[in-house]
Structure 1
Amino acid sequence: MHELKTPGLAQGDAINALEDALYRGQLDRRDFLRLAVAAGLGASSAAALAQDGSEAAINQLYNARNLAAEYDYIVVGSGSAGAVVAGRLAAESDARVLVLEAGGTDQVPAIQTPGLWPTNIRSERDWGHVSTPSPAVNNRSLILPMGKAVGGGSSINVMVWSRGHKNDFDSWHAETGDAGWSYERVLDIYRRIEDWQGEPDPARRGKGGRLWVTPPVDPNPIAHAMLDAAASVGIPKFADQNGVMMEGAGGAALANMRIRDGRRRNVAADYLYQALRRPNVTLLTGAEVQRLVMTGNRVKGVTFVRNGKLHTVRAARRVVLSAGAINTPKILMLSGIGDPAELKRHGIRTVVASRGVGRNFQDHVLVGGCIWEYNKAIPPANNLAEATFFWKSDASLQTPDLQPFQIEVPFASEVTTKEFNPPPAAWTLAPGLVRPKSRGRVTLASSNPADKAIIDGAFLTHPDDVKALLRGIELCREIGNSEALKPYVKREVMPGRLPAEEMANFLRNAVGTYFHESCTCKMGRDDMSVVDGRLSVRGVQGLSIADASVMPTVSTGNTMAPTVLIGERMADILLGRA
């Protein structure tokens, strides 16, 4: 992989970096003052920031060492929704909030540096989940990374801010009967939280919110060439991935990103850390939740393991599960909330029957990939994947179901890498399916919380998914071999022109996922719905879920932004503002 080119830190962002380190306890007050003044901050301003940051570090050290027996709210997970819920509850109320994060710090180069994000996959910052082998993918087990660090998935993902299609939210509204999920209401939230740096669009984009969102800075020229190539086959170009393009038939655009002056901005940085100086919030890392503590159908607290010691803590008001679409249903089932037949298999007494727990698993499918060798290599920029398009595999569809990404390095599966041996100086168009019809399931391996859940991804088990992705491969090859991209092509490496049967086999060998695990505790009103439209677990008192597991159908595009949206709605509900 080529060395990543990134812009240098601006003065303000150098100070932000120092402030982040101070809040996280990575930098003491004296060193902060010295470095902040050297970076150009005035002495009085530096002293004020140092005071706040030192208070945060001292608070968290004290709170961790003096764990209370009870908190008002316990939030399980500090990811794209959990950080939102915990940070807002702590900052906007006097409620006592405990945040339990199973992973460790986000202050490592692999998280902070955009171009290093792939090195987090299969590291200690990844839960290490895999799917069960399936004939539909030629008996392969697909990796299913999920973030295990402060910031959760937002600390290890590709940093793309993809808000979803209008039809996603209108369908969530129809599924739940809750108008808060309608596109009109969702737009209000997105406008409120965004600080959009691209072409102004007051009807759809926010300015001045807490979340910095930007087009790629100094993108690789091949990204613009891909947009021209897409236009040449009838896919129109748009200035904004999240604007009017996502209200219609789709189009091509540079991706929106959560990168600020060369540094990743995970969700915790913008929601959680500023609240840590308040005495009413405690963030514990290395705290892995095992079960909910229940009396009848009421949740009273949680048990968790930290540093080898078992702890039980009570929740006076509510527990919010934000552990992700694999661990959230796992915790529910270990606590006796789930399908009675599944629980009985593991000797777990059913406390609340909820047949939908763990079902309806969805993930976006990503094919590795359609690859071309460069005529002359160009180093990748930003997050290595700057250009994308949304399009329909079938014109009769209401919503685009394809989302290929141009990846500025070779991207192939463990099988296709061996078969085609792509050279390092190559780039990829990776066909992606973002409205899959296949549905999988998460189940328990045993009643032991230390055992990972079993994930049957069911990838490509629905024939329409195969048909759509074959169309996606065809479309990517057409774009990659177009005139607009010829200056960047020495040769097509893979897959080339193949007979239909061989192309289908290539697909089964090449398929992976976008790492967008979701939908295993869906919201709705039918018997398979685990939560209602206000994110309360049906049949259970004192328990809510706020993560991607509550999506009835996975959003169209990368899932970080809709998961932040879910966290925002959860916070609004708990604060009495929705």
Structure 2
Amino acid sequence: MNDTVTTEDRDFATRARDNQAQRTAGLRRSYDFIVCGAGASGSVIARRLAESPEVHVLLLEAGGSDEADSVLNPALWPTNLGSKRDWGFLAAPNPHLKGRALSLSMGKGLGGGSSINVMVWARGHRSDWDYFAAEAGDPAWGYENVLDIYRRIENWQGAPDPRFRGTGGPVWVQPAADPSPVAHAMLDAASDIGIPVFDHPNGRMMEGEGGAAISDMLVRDGRRHSLYRAYLHPWLDRPNLTVLTGAMVRRVVFDGRRATGVEFLRDGQVTTVGATAEVVLSLGAIHTPKVLMHSGIGDREELARVGIPVRQHLPGVGRNFQDHVSFGCTWEYAEPIPPRNSGSEATLYWKSRPDLDAPDLLFCQVEFPVPSDRTAARGVPAHGWTMFAGLAQPVSRGRLRLEGADPSAAVTVDTNFLSDPTDMTTARACIEICRALGNAPAFRPYVRSEAMPGALTGDALDDYIRDAAVTYWHQSCTAKMGRDAMSVVDGALRVYGVDALRVADASIMPRVTTGNTQAPCAIIGERAAEAIRQSHKLRPRSARSASGLRGSDIEAADERAVLAPVGRP
């Protein structure tokens, strides 16, 4: 690990700290753009908009700083789960999981999920992006254009591969460094059972049937390199960017059909700030639809149920909830093998049926035991590894429901996992492949025995699946992009029926991407920023001429004005 701090680093840290202290101490009454949420998409958008020096950008984040060892030390990521950096959502009891109520961790703080996750960089499959393009009616969402964006934003540290990898972008991506022998054993086991092995997982491997590879990770010099660190942190000394933490967005403010600002809660005080150009919601697949509904945008029956006046009837808000569901299978080590890096260094995508032309299963090897609340009772080895494997393309769909008209009220998340019988069929195939991998000859030097599930069949296997099911923390699709009656945003991510409001986060996915979602969220952020820049004719960052945005001409006295609170909750 490189702990060297240069004079240049210290100088920048001082400039950034002083600049943000000045900006947040004297908030403007309005900004050109307000971005809500500093996660994997919001960090990208705020940076890209702030690259135009003639506009002023406000980024609101409910959580706090990422300056903590639990965030920056890759090995400590599990300690963030259930902490103050986790929203700690709890799903409704699910009858399809024998009444279990699963925890749904989501990142709270600068970087969002990219500051508490396992740091895996997984681009999604070719078929995902082509599906997005078809749903949006916009070829710019298609695979070839998205591949070009990935090449542009990556700073790839592995073996050169110019067809698939880029080297000049802000996102430092590297293969897991010096992987554990069990990670290599997983690749050998995949080969043993006929699954191809690739040099990295973000190229040819995800253009066809799938395969296995050492994971790509957002780790730089031994430290987490979140999307906040990649995009936004280097821009904190800029005079046109304000990053306000501890600011919980409650609702969007409108003048007729036009979004004109947001209402947020900070230090017990409710405040409104204006947006002269646009508001962008990047709050994640639970809070984004929640804020939309509290702003009067959603299904009219759902809004009427809790007494919220309807501004725009969009029945898809809060519907179409998706997530990857995992069923852990565990083996006991013959001798203890300490985890390396994040403890998850090998990944695999494959098919539950041979007739498929794209993977529908996702496998992440975890180098320590990961039982569910129920499977822990079956006996967990003190030392072992887990195949954290599950449904990459689930068929079941869930939804969100408000618990009241007050924005501070909670939201009910009905995941509806395994409600569609197809998902149970796929889950059985997933377990079968897990067991074939873990019991392959490649693991014999490292494994004493299979701890769970063992050779279960029939109802016993189904019981195990329902007991083992947990989330991958890839919540998505609750404000989907498309052109049908259940779509919430168009191909430019504009919310239907209102002006100056966009959604840009995993909510807009028509279906969850095949794999971890932070890399696709970076693409969503890039595509949103590109659409906004084109819409407002923003100039490149070298240009100093005015963009024509009304907020750019705010007088200096107004720029220094502190916002007036509108009340207390």
For the aligned pair, the TM-score class normalised by the smaller chain equals over 0.9
* 2:316 corresponds to 1:316: no
1:573 CA drift (Å)? 1.3
Contact 1:72–1:317 under 8 Å retained in 2: yes
Residue in 2 aligned with 1:42? none
- Correspondence for 2:98: 138
Superposition deviation, residue 276 in structure 1: 1.4
Of 17, 30, 41, the residue aligned with 1:81 is 41
| Equivalent position of 1:410 in the other structure | 369
**Which residue of the partner structure matches residue 103 of structure 1?**
63
2:152 to 167, 192, 195: 192
In 1: Cα distance, 2:91 partner to 2:53 partner: 41
Q: Deviations over 1:46-98 (max 9, x none)?
A: 3x555443232111101111011100000000000000000111123421111
Question: Corresponding residue for 2:30?
Answer: 70
- Whether 1:375 and 2:365 are equivalent positions in the alignment is no
- What is aligned with 2:306? 346
- 1:494 is aligned to 452
1:529 matched to 2:529? The reply is no
Classify 1:235/1:279 alpha carbon distance in 2 versus 1 (closer, same or farther; 3 Å): same
Which residue number in structure 2 is paired with residue 505 of structure 1?
463
Identity %: 51
Paired position in structure 2 for 1:124: 84
Structure 1 residues without counterparts, runs of 5 or longer:
1-7, 16-35, 37-45
Corresponding residue for 2:4? 14
Q: What does residue range 22-101 of structure 1 map to in structure 2 within 5 Å?
A: 36=6, 46=7, 50-101=10-61
1:273-294 Cα offsets, whole Å, 9 max, x none, are 1211111111111000111111
Q: Which has the higher contact order (CA 8 A, sep 6+)?
A: 2
Name the SS for the 1:414 alignment partner. coil
Shift of 1:485: 0.5
CA distance in 2, matches of 1:174, 1:561: 20
Structure 2 Cα separation of the partners of residues 324 and 531 of structure 1: 15
Report the Cα distance in structure 1 between the residues aligned to 2:18 and 2:445, rounded to whole angstroms. 57
Select the residue among 522, 539, 542 that pairs with 2:500: 542
Give me the whole-angstrom Cα distance separating, in 1, the residues matched to 2:91 and 2:12.
Answer: 45
Determine whether 1:565 maps to 2:555.
no
Q: CA deviation at 1:472?
A: 0.6
The CA distance in 1 between the partners of 2:53 and 2:256, in whole Å, is 29
Partner of 1:442: 400
Q: Matches of 1:472 and 1:321 in 2, distance apart? A: 35
User: Which residue, out of 337, 343, 346, partners 1:384?
Assistant: 343
| Residue in structure 2 matched with residue 421 of structure 1 by the alignment | 379
Asked whether 1:395 is paired with 2:354, we answer yes
Give 1:568 shift: 0.6
Letter in 1 for 2:442: A
Q: Does the alignment pair 1:453 with 2:411?
A: yes
Residues 91, 278 of structure 1: 8 Å contact kept: no
Q: What does the per-residue CA deviation read over 1:405-447, in whole Å, with 9 as the maximum and x for residues that have no partner?
A: 11100011000001x2212211111221110000100121111
AA aligned to 1:517 is: Q
From 166, 173, 178, the counterpart of 2:133: 173
User: What stretches of structure 1 move > 6 A for 4+ residues in a row?
Assistant: none
Out of 189, 194, 213, the position equivalent to 1:229 is 189
> Which residue does 2:177 correspond to in 1?
217
Structure 2 alignment gaps of length 5 or more: 538-569
Q: Distance in 1 between matches of 2:214 and 2:425?
A: 27
Offset of residue 107 of structure 1: 0.4
Structure 2 residue matching 1:102: 3-state secondary structure: coil
Q: State the distance in 1 between where 2:11 and 2:106 align.
A: 35
Distance in 2 of aligned mates of 1:229 and 1:430:
15
Does structure 2 conserve the Cα–Cα contact (< 8 Å) formed by 1:115 and 1:382?
yes
**How far off is 1:218 after superposition?**
0.9
For 2:94 and 2:439, locate their aligned partners in 1 and report how far apart those are by CA, in whole Å: 33
Describe the superposition over 1:131-159 as per-residue Cα deviations: whole angstroms up to 9, x where unpaired: 11111111001111110011000001000
Could you tell me the TM-score, scaled by structure 2's length?
0.93
Aligned counterparts of 1:499 and 1:193: Cα–Cα separation in 2:
46
Paired residue secondary structure (1:390): strand
SS in 2 for 1:71: strand
User: Out of 295, 302, 323, which is 1:363 matched to?
Assistant: 323
Q: Which amino acid in the other structure matches residue 364 of structure 2? A: F
Deviation for aligned residue 1:542: 0.6
Please tell me whether the aligned partners of residues 199 and 240 of structure 1 are also in contact (alpha carbons under 8 angstroms): no
For the aligned residues, what is the CA RMSD?
1.2
Structure-1 residue corresponding to 2:436: 478
How far the C-alpha of 1:499 sits from its partner, in A, is 2.6
What number of residue pairs does the alignment pair up?
Answer: 536
Matched residue type, 2:508: V
Partner Cα separation in structure 2 for residue 49 and residue 377 of structure 1: 39
Task: State the one-letter code of the partner of 2:335.
Answer: K
1:26-45 Cα offsets, whole Å, 9 max, x none, are xxxxxxxxxx3xxxxxxxxx
Cα distance 1:316–1:218, how it changes in 2: closer, same or farther (>3 A)? Answer: same
Output the amino acid matched with 2:187.
Answer: L
Q: TM-score, normalised by structure 1?
A: 0.91
